Amino acid sequence: MLAQRYPQDYDGIIALFPATNWVKFFWASYWPKFVMDEKGVYPKPCEFEVITAEVTSACDKLDGVEDGIISRLDLCNFDPHKVVGNVIDCDGTKATISSAAADITQATWDGPRSSTGEFQWYGYGKGTDLTQAITGPIQVKCNEDSCKAEGNPVWVRYWVKKDPSFDISKITHQEWDDLVHASINEFDSIIGTSDPDLSAFKRRSGRMINWHGTVDAAIPFNGSTDYYDRVLAKDPEARDYYRFFVAPGAGHCFNCGPSPPFSMDPIIHWVEDGVAPDTLRASGANGLGVHMERDICMYPGIQHYLGGDPNVASSFKCV
């Protein structure tokens, strides 16, 4: 928003997992609950956790390295229905992965769709911890008898409907569509943060760096790729002043997977020294709990394994 609306205020901006397209990405976090409410089925959290482990295992090695991270999401075609019927350990008891859990997981990866099947927003990256406390989009609580999806979104009740008693669990798919439409119509101009026109920021020689982790459980990372694609479509030379990086395996915090450090150094070097970053150095524990360092690539580049120690950055190059 600062680069879009207040370009004169900053020489450089570094934006980490930004909430661009605010009034749209919210609906991705509500979507799993809506799907569960519509189906009237609430699978146990352990079912989703096992499916996440299975997709990570299936797609981990697509980049040539086993590190507990899905780096090639573009090649990951895992179908969660393949594990339906598998018997799993669930908090010390036996459980079976249900078709409903597979349906809901796929819907969460795909993102919200209208009642006629039209795209509304992006889903969460495969490998994301969907049941992560607080930020995860799937929040299900179980007792001895049953499970129930938690949450009655404040955004919908207080802002869109302006009714504190409104219960989103009771709505139809058409009513869902109406809420999405109303949200965009009323608030996009206020907090939409989706304007791809950065010409004023460019004219005053501003510089911006943005990175987003692929397993962000709060804000789907593809919202950032969508925004950057639209910026490039409007200005093909945008990389001269705005660079975006995708961080495989990084979540919505620092030290949540291999991620760049909380540092202003890259933007300072660009603004003050004229050195634009082609990569950002990420470090942290990989999906297997092993410390690693790796350079994350400027979008749309991807990491290519050259061989050697996969926990050392020099074993990869961006292509």
**Within this chain, do residues 31 and 141 fall inside the same structural domain, yes or no?**
yes
Residue 265 lies inside a defined structural domain of this protein: yes
pLDDT of residue 259: 86
- Picking from 121, 151, 181, the residue at the C-terminal end of a domain is 151
**Within this chain, do residues 296 and 224 fall inside the same structural domain, yes or no?**
yes
Q: How confident is the model at residue 255 (pLDDT cuts 50, 70, 90)?
A: low
**Within this chain, do residues 127 and 74 fall inside the same structural domain, yes or no?**
yes
pLDDT of residue 151: 74
pLDDT tens for 213-222 read 999 999 999 9
Instruction: Assign 219 to helix, strand or coil.
Output: coil
What letter does residue 124 receive in the DSSP assignment? P
The pLDDT mean for the chain works out to 93
Residue 81 lies inside a defined structural domain of this protein: yes
**Within this chain, do residues 144 and 219 fall inside the same structural domain, yes or no?**
no
The residue ranking higher by pLDDT, 226 or 143, is 226
**Within this chain, do residues 259 and 294 fall inside the same structural domain, yes or no?**
yes
pLDDT of residue 162: 96
Task: Please determine, for residue 241, whether its predicted confidence score (pLDDT) is greater than 90.
Answer: yes
pLDDT of residue 106: 98
- Picking from 151, 175, 204, the residue at the C-terminal end of a domain is 151
**Within this chain, do residues 11 and 29 fall inside the same structural domain, yes or no?**
no
CA angle at 148 for the pair 146 and 152, rounded to the nearest 5°: 160
| Percent of the chain with pLDDT strictly greater than 90 | 80
**Within this chain, do residues 35 and 6 fall inside the same structural domain, yes or no?**
no
**Within this chain, do residues 43 and 90 fall inside the same structural domain, yes or no?**
yes
- The burial of 40, by beta-carbon neighbours within 10 Å (0-12 exposed, 13-18 middle, 19 or more buried), is given as exposed
pLDDT tens for 26-83 read 899 999 999 999 999 999 999 999 999 999 999 999 999 999 999 999 999 999 999 9
Look at the chain and report how many structural domains it folds into: 2
Q: Around Cβ 151, how many Cβ atoms within 10 Å?
A: 15
Point out the least confidently predicted range of 10-14, 65-69, 253-257. 253-257
The average pLDDT across 257-271 equals 89
Residue 198 lies inside a defined structural domain of this protein: yes
Residue 161 lies inside a defined structural domain of this protein: no
pLDDT of residue 211: 94
Point out the least confidently predicted range of 153-157, 198-202, 252-256, 272-276. 252-256
Q: Around Cβ 311, how many Cβ atoms within 10 Å?
A: 17
pLDDT tens for 114-148 read 999 999 999 999 999 999 887 889 999 998 888 99
What is the domain extent for residue 98? 24-151
pLDDT tens for 164-217 read 999 999 999 999 999 999 999 999 999 889 999 999 999 999 999 999 999 999
Residue 188 lies inside a defined structural domain of this protein: no
| Percent of the chain with pLDDT strictly greater than 70 | 99
The average pLDDT across 97-117 equals 98
**Within this chain, do residues 220 and 239 fall inside the same structural domain, yes or no?**
yes
Residue 300 lies inside a defined structural domain of this protein: yes
The residue ranking higher by pLDDT, 258 or 181, is 181
- Picking from 151, 186, 209, the residue at the C-terminal end of a domain is 151
pLDDT of residue 263: 81
Exposure b/e, 170-204, CB count within 10 A at least 16 = b: ebeeeebbebbeebbeebbeeebbbbbebeebbee
**Within this chain, do residues 82 and 137 fall inside the same structural domain, yes or no?**
yes
Closest CA to 257 of 308, 291, 226: 291
Residue 183 lies inside a defined structural domain of this protein: no
Task: Please determine, for residue 153, whether its predicted confidence score (pLDDT) is greater than 90.
Answer: no
Task: Please determine, for residue 276, whether its predicted confidence score (pLDDT) is greater than 80.
Answer: yes
Task: Please determine, for residue 150, whether its predicted confidence score (pLDDT) is greater than 70.
Answer: yes
**Within this chain, do residues 45 and 12 fall inside the same structural domain, yes or no?**
no
The residue ranking higher by pLDDT, 53 or 289, is 53
Residue 181 lies inside a defined structural domain of this protein: no
**Within this chain, do residues 28 and 147 fall inside the same structural domain, yes or no?**
yes
